[in-house]
Amino acid sequence: MIDAETRVKELLAKAGIKIDGSGPADITIHDKRFYNKAIRYRELGLGESYMDGWWDAKHVDKFIEKILLFDIRSNVKISPAFLLVAAPAIFNTQSIKKAKKNAEHHYNIGNDLYTRMLDQRMIYSCAYWKDAEDLDQAQTNKLDLICKKLELKKGMKLLDIGCGWGGFAKFAAMNYGVEVTGITPASEQVKIARAATKGLSVTILQKDYREITGKFDRITSIGMLEHVGPKNYKNFFSICNKLLKDDGMMLHHTIADNIAGKYPDPWIGKYIFPGGVLPTLTQISKLVEGNLIIEDVQNIGPDYDKTLMAWHKNFTSNYHEIKDNYDERFYRMWTYYLLICAGGFRARHLQLWQIVMRKRLPAKTYIAAR
C-alpha cells in the first residue's frame, strides 16, 4: 500500500503542483503529519492542517484552483473518518433554532472584522464589477442592478430576507423610495442595520423567514439560500410565494454548486458556515415548477473571485488594527476561507446566480437589466 506522503505527492504532481517549488501554486510542508491528515480527512484535513501551520502556499487561491481543475478529490477515496465529519450534512441543520445559532456563529464574530474587510456599505455578497474600478463601486453596481431587475417603484413594500448589516435596505429606500422590511437572525447585524437605516422607511427585525407574515410587492434574498438547506427549500419558496403579492416579483442571489447531492465542504461547515449547503440551479427550478415563473437567470460567478480577493486584501491590510482581538490560528483560518473560495469561483467550481421570479399570472415580457 502506498503511504500517505507518496500518494499526496503523486496527486499534487499530476495537478502541476510542486512541494518546495517556485511556482505560484506550489506549497511548502512544515509538518509531515499533513500528508496523513490530508488523505484521511480530505477538505477538512487540508484546512485544519493549514490553520495549524503545517503547510503554506505562495498563493493559496491558485493552489486550490489547480486542485479543483484537476479534481484531486475524486482521486481520494472517502474514508469512514471523512464520512463521520460530513454526515451531519444529511440532517436538517437549518431549523429555526439552529439557523439562528448558525448565523450568529459567523455573523457575530465581530463587527470590527467586517467593517475592515467589506466595502463602505458592508455588503457581504458578490459584487458586480462591470464598469467598476474598486469594491465600493462594484457593490453599488450590484445593489442598483438588483433594484432595476425588480423594477422597483416608489411606495412599494420590499422584504429583504437575510438583510445583513442593512446595506441593500438602505440603498433601496434612499434611491428607489421603497418601504423595506429587513430580517436577519444575527443580533450583531441587527444593531448596525438599525443604526444605518435610522430615519428611513426601513424596519429591521431579528427574525427567521418562517416567522414573517404580510404581503410584499417585492422580495429579495441576497446570499441567503446558502443557509436554507435542501430539506427546507420547498418550504422556503412556498413561504416566499405566500408573502408575495399576485403581481409581485422576487430575486434570489445565491452561491450555487454544479452538482446536487454532494457533501458540503466539511471544513467550511465546521469553521465558517455551519449548516450551509449550496443549492444548484436545477434544484431551484424544480422547486418552483407550477407556482412561479423564472423570468431571468444571470451567472456572475467570476465576479465573486474578484470580490473575494478584494476582501482578502482589505482584511490582510487592516488586520493589524484588530489583531489583539483574534489569534494567529483565526487569521490563518480567515485568510484560508477567503482564498479557497476565490479559487473555487476561478475554477468555475462554484457559481453565483441571480434569479428573478414572479407568480404564474399574465404579465408583459420581462426585459432584465444588465
**Cα–Cα distance measured from residue 293 to residue 322, given in angstroms and rounded to the nearest whole number:** 47
Give the residue from 19, 46, 77 where a domain finishes: 77
Assess whether 36 and 154 both reside in one domain.
no
Assess whether 113 and 254 both reside in one domain.
yes
Domain that holds residue 293: 90-359
Assess whether 12 and 160 both reside in one domain.
no
How many residues can be counted in the chain? 370
Assess whether 209 and 250 both reside in one domain.
yes
Q: Is residue 168 part of a domain?
A: yes
**Cα–Cα distance measured from residue 245 to residue 266, given in angstroms and rounded to the nearest whole number:** 39
From the DSSP assignment, how many helices (H) and strands (E) are in the chain? 14, 9
Give the residue from 56, 77, 98 where a domain finishes: 77
**Cα–Cα distance measured from residue 287 to residue 148, given in angstroms and rounded to the nearest whole number:** 25
Assess whether 168 and 303 both reside in one domain.
yes
- pLDDT number for residue 88: 45
Q: Is residue 267 part of a domain?
A: yes
Cβ–Cβ under 8 Å, residues 237 and 290: no
Q: Is residue 84 part of a domain?
A: no
350 contact partners, CB below 8 Å, separation of at least 6? 255, 256, 257, 258, 278, 301, 304, 341, 344
Assess whether 180 and 289 both reside in one domain.
yes
96 contact partners, CB below 8 Å, separation of at least 6? 208, 210, 211
Cβ–Cβ under 8 Å, residues 99 and 184: no
Q: Is residue 153 part of a domain?
A: yes
Q: Which three cell numbers stand for residue 351?
A: 457559481
240 noted as active-site residue: no
DSSP E strand stretches across the chain:
27-29, 55-57, 157-161, 179-183, 202-205, 216-222, 244-256, 292-299, 351-359
Q: How many structural domains compose the chain? A: 2
Q: What is the DSSP letter of 271?
A: I
Assess whether 340 and 294 both reside in one domain.
yes
pLDDT tens, per residue, the chain with 370 residues: 689 999 999 999 999 999 999 999 999 999 999 999 999 888 999 999 999 999 999 999 999 999 999 987 766 666 555 555 555 445 555 566 655 565 555 666 778 999 999 999 999 999 999 999 999 999 999 999 999 999 999 999 999 999 999 999 999 999 999 999 999 999 889 999 999 999 999 999 999 999 999 999 999 999 999 999 888 999 999 999 999 999 999 999 999 999 886 777 889 988 998 888 899 999 999 999 988 999 999 999 999 999 999 999 999 999 999 999 999 999 999 999 999 999 999 999 999 999 999 998 888 999 999 9
**Cα–Cα distance measured from residue 272 to residue 265, given in angstroms and rounded to the nearest whole number:** 10
Assess whether 36 and 144 both reside in one domain.
no
Catalytic residue among 126, 147, 163, 341: 341
166 contact partners, CB below 8 Å, separation of at least 6? 122, 182, 189, 192, 193, 194, 196, 197, 202, 204
Q: Which three cell numbers stand for residue 87?
A: 454526515
Is residue 189 packed enough to be buried (19+ CB in 10 Å), middle (13-18) or exposed (0-12)?
buried
Assess whether 25 and 72 both reside in one domain.
yes
DSSP string over 202-231: EEEE---GGG--S-EEEEEEES-GGGT-TT
Q: Is residue 115 part of a domain?
A: yes
Give the residue from 24, 54, 77 where a domain finishes: 77
Q: Is residue 104 part of a domain?
A: yes
- pLDDT number for residue 92: 57
Q: Are strands 292-299 and 216-222 parallel, antiparallel or unpaired?
A: unpaired
Q: Which three cell numbers stand for residue 120?
A: 463602505
Q: Is residue 123 part of a domain?
A: yes
CATH code assigned at 240? 3.40.50.150
Cβ–Cβ under 8 Å, residues 177 and 142: no
Assess whether 123 and 68 both reside in one domain.
no
Residue with cell 457581504: 124
Assess whether 256 and 127 both reside in one domain.
yes
Residue with cell 437567470: 297
Between CA 209 and CA 281, with CA 362 as vertex, the angle to 5 degrees is 50
Assess whether 12 and 153 both reside in one domain.
no
Q: From 172, 160, 248, select the one nearest 207 (Cα to Cα).
A: 160
320 contact partners, CB below 8 Å, separation of at least 6? none
**Cα–Cα distance measured from residue 34 to residue 4, given in angstroms and rounded to the nearest whole number:** 9
DSSP E strand stretches across 90-215:
157-161, 179-183, 202-205
Cβ–Cβ under 8 Å, residues 340 and 61: yes
DSSP E strand stretches across 63-201:
157-161, 179-183
Q: Is residue 113 part of a domain?
A: yes
